[in-house]
Amino acid sequence: MSPQVTFHPKGRSIDVPAGTSLLEAAILAGVEVNSACAGKGVCGRCRVVVEGDVETKASPKISQEEWASGYRLACLSKVQGDCVVFVPEESQLKPMQIVGGKVSTELKELSPLVRAVYAKLRPPTLHDNDADLERLLKELGYEPGSLEVPLSLLKRLPQVIRDGEWTVTAFLDGDLLVDVRPWNCVSRNFGVAIDIGTTTVALQLVDLGTGEMISQVSDYNRQLMYGEDVLARIMYGEDHGQDRLQHMIIDTINHLLARVCSYDEKCAGKGKKVCAEEVMAVSVAGNTTMMHMLLGLDPRFIRYSPYTPVTNLSPSTNAAEIGLNVNPRASVHLVPGRASYVGGDVIADVVASGMARSEGISLLIDVGTNGEVVLGNQDWLLACSASAGPAFEGGEVCHGMRAGDGAIEKVSLQGGVQYSTIGRTRPKGICGSGLIDLLAQMFLTGVLDKKGHLQPSDRVREGEFGKEYVLVYSKDAEKDGYDLKATGMTCCPMDKVERRRDITVTEEDIANVIRTKASIFAAAEVLLDTAGISFADLERVYIAGGFGHHIDLDNAVAIGLLPDLPRERFTFLGNASLDGAKLCLLSKEKREEALAAHRAMTYVELSTDQRFFDRFSSASFLPHTDLNRFPSIGRIRE
């Protein structure tokens, strides 16, 4: 009999084979445990409290006192027998704050990926005995043999036509017949737009007849347990095979689909309830690695010079081939990418921003683990990717976290320490926008010098890892009061599990943030230099990504992440990748625009460009070695 693992505070149990890691067991049980190092035991984020038969490797991430209290790393703990696991708040993945995009374009007309056409057929007679398919084709205006019809659909066609008493609705993707349903159900044509991020997957359910968004949902990418960035996941796939990674991303999408669609066998398909079978089209945007993993393509060579993907133009496919739980013949469109590290998500950003239709020159920055930058207009596009690191997503920062409940998202040091958290809950850590605010405020108030060194202050002290700034003292944070008695655990005193640490930022954390912002700024400068222009020549600067939506513009300029331009030139797009995928779902013009952007875009490789390293060095200060580039910040400092 397999050992049983019970997870609290969710109270979920699962039977797993002996030797399964607690991290793997948690994922199988649907318990979200934070992890960023692909189970190597180096990030220390998957800390859990364990009671039972578990074999665990020691880790420097767990102190002797914590070990005695039952703390273990889930990734280094193997199940040997029944056990009970408590996932403390610090190790829980909380729902992320996902912001919808703000597209800068309106569709003139809808031309969705799959269109619905009502057809009233003449019943056959002895004098009019055309075959069922040919009868349908004539009514739709197609010559016999000019429309591709899947065999699985052809097998159903006779019964469908007769169920509808010779009236049907045909669903067409160009010259492909996707489905035929009885009666007039033109108004029941739906699609989904999906943005597959390395950290998060977002999905919109859309009415293809009206363009209206019906619902939007998001969740963590379940691949997170195999690494925080794409390189870690590619390496995991090299060691363990790609099948598991493909399964996890498809599983993530299907769980999102289950939140917006009905899978009831008796689903009537009326009103706002959308049956999964009524979803006829899917549009997907994502970085190149995520698209490879979705399709089951081998991404290994993305990691090695000269960094070549299998393809940047993914083939047309259908839902059944991938394993998506919608109409099995639903057409799947994948937004084209341009290079190994400039994927379909960036092309979708370009489409959503409208920059490729403008005469003026624009700069687009998508801030993430890889900071993608695009420069250009309707005549040309340049793009590059800077390995920015995960600092703005909470990685490589001692008390960093993603943008979920309890994350400090805004900070001000004017007149004392003031901050606000997502969800207005007790502070649990600090996310990217909060880090930008904090560094800017410390720099502007003299707590931080331009090299990122902390200066004497009543909140600066020597910590375990050197100098640190205390943003929140533990005594000021309200406790949540878990009831451990309900778990049946006896190993852990309440105060041990509920221990609260001061929320601090160390000089090493600050150095990581400076490296991240310097990488993005330097990448933008290289593109400008390639085009022979300056920041002053830009008509507009677009900031894409959900993270960008929360950035305080003045603070981002103060640390040198963004150029010191008139603030009205900046536009925050939110999740432009999801918006771009939606536009491609709804418009043939936008699908063609995405393909045109792919063809027009010139990729600039930064890893061998000396200009990038020179500009990175100059940008590795607050805000820059040349303060004349940031006149508004110089005036504040004076």
Quote the longest CA-to-CA distance of the chain.
Answer: 97
> CA-CA distance, 169 to 491, in Å (whole number)?
63
Same domain, 463 and 555: no
Same domain, 165 and 144: yes
- What is the per-residue pLDDT for 638? 64
Contact, 402 vs 394, CB < 8 A? yes
3-state secondary structure 160-176: HHHHCCCEEEEEEECCE
pLDDT of residue 269: 75
pLDDT tens-place string over residues 168-227: 999 999 999 999 999 999 999 999 999 999 888 999 999 999 999 999 999 889 888 788
- pLDDT tens figures, 588-631: 999 999 999 999 999 999 999 999 999 999 999 999 999 899 99
Secondary structure (3-state) at 407: strand
pLDDT at 252: 95
Residue 573 counted as domain residue = yes
Per DSSP, the residues of 541-600 read EEEESTTGGG--HHHHHHTTSS----GGGEEEEEBHHHHHHHHHHH-HHHHHHHHHHHHH
Indicate the pLDDT class of residue 114, thresholds 50, 70 and 90.
very high
Q: Are residues 547 and 469 in the same domain?
A: no
Alpha-helical (H) ranges within 445-540 are 494-497, 507-531
Q: What is residue 486's predicted lDDT score, i.e. its pLDDT?
A: 53
Residue 104 lies in a domain: no
Q: What is the C-alpha to C-alpha distance for residues 4 and 10, in angstroms, rounded to an integer?
A: 15
Band of pLDDT at residue 34, cut at 50, 70 and 90? confident
User: Rounded CA gap, 452 and 445, in Å?
Assistant: 13
pLDDT at 387: 80
Helix and strand tally (H, E) in the chain?
17, 26
Q: In this structure, which amino acid lies at residue 470?
A: V
69 pLDDT band (50/70/90 cuts)?
confident
Q: Where does a domain end: 144, 163, 182?
A: 182
8 Å CB contact between 455 and 445: no
**Residue predicted with more confidence, 69 or 16:** 16
Whether the per-residue pLDDT at 288 is higher than 80: the answer is: yes
Task: Work out the average pLDDT over 44-51.
Answer: 89
Provide the pLDDT for residue 488: 56
Q: Is residue 101 part of a domain?
A: no
Percent over 70 (pLDDT), the chain: 93
Pairing of strands 370-376, 362-366: antiparallel
**Is the domain of 525 the same as that of 621?**
yes
Whether residues 194 and 327 share a domain: the answer is yes
CATH of the domain at 239: 3.30.420.480
Looking at residue 133, which CATH number applies to its domain?
A: 3.10.20.880
Q: 3-state DSSP helix/strand/coil percent for the chain, to nearest 5?
A: 35, 25, 40
Q: Using alpha carbons only, how large is the chain's radius of gyration in Å?
A: 27
Q: Per the domain annotation, does 424 fall within a domain?
A: yes
Residue 330 within a domain: yes
- pLDDT one-digit tens code per residue, 309-354: 999 999 889 999 999 999 999 999 999 999 999 999 999 999 999 9
Burial of 516 (0-12, 13-18, 19+ CB in 10 A): buried
Instruction: Tell me, yes or no, whether 341 lies in a domain.
Output: no
State the Cα–Cα distance between residues 134 and 275, nearest whole angstrom.
29
Q: What is the mean pLDDT of the chain?
A: 90
| Residues 376, 517 share a domain | yes
CATH code, 37:
3.10.20.30
User: Does pLDDT of 422 surpass 90?
Assistant: no
Query: Does 266 share its domain with 211?
Result: yes
Residue 104 confidence (pLDDT): 45
- 495 pLDDT higher than 50: no
Residue 100 falls inside a structural domain: no
Long-range contacts of 316-319 (CB under 8 A, 24+ apart): 319/279, 319/282
Here the CATH number for the domain that contains residue 533 is: 3.30.420
278-to-164, 218, 297, 307, 326 alpha-carbon distances in Å: 16, 21, 28, 39, 8
Answer with the one of 128, 150, 182 that is the final residue of a domain: 182
* Non-local CB neighbours of 525 within 8 Å, separated by 6+ positions: 611, 615, 619
Considering the domain architecture, whether residues 205 and 327 belong to the same structural domain is answered as yes
Instruction: Give the type of residue at 160.
Output: V
Asked whether residue 96 is assigned to any structural domain, the reply reads no
Q: Do 626 and 517 share a structural domain?
A: yes
Residues 477 and 549 in one domain: no
Last residue of a domain, one of 182, 199, 222: 182
DSSP 393: G
508 or 501, higher pLDDT? 508
Q: What is the pLDDT of residues 239-258, one digit of tens each?
A: 888 998 999 999 999 999 99
What domain range includes position 322? 190-334
Q: Each residue of 356-368: pLDDT tens digit? A: 999 999 999 998 7
Q: HEC string of 325-337? A: CCCCCCEEEECCC
Same domain, 206 and 314: yes
Mean pLDDT value of segment 42-54:
88
**Number of domains the chain contains:** 5
Same domain, 518 and 625: yes
Confidence band, pLDDT 50/70/90 cuts, at residue 13: very high
* E strand or H helix at 204: strand 200-207
With both helix axes pointing from N to C terminus, report the angle between 230-240 and 288-295 in degrees, rounded to the nearest 10.
30
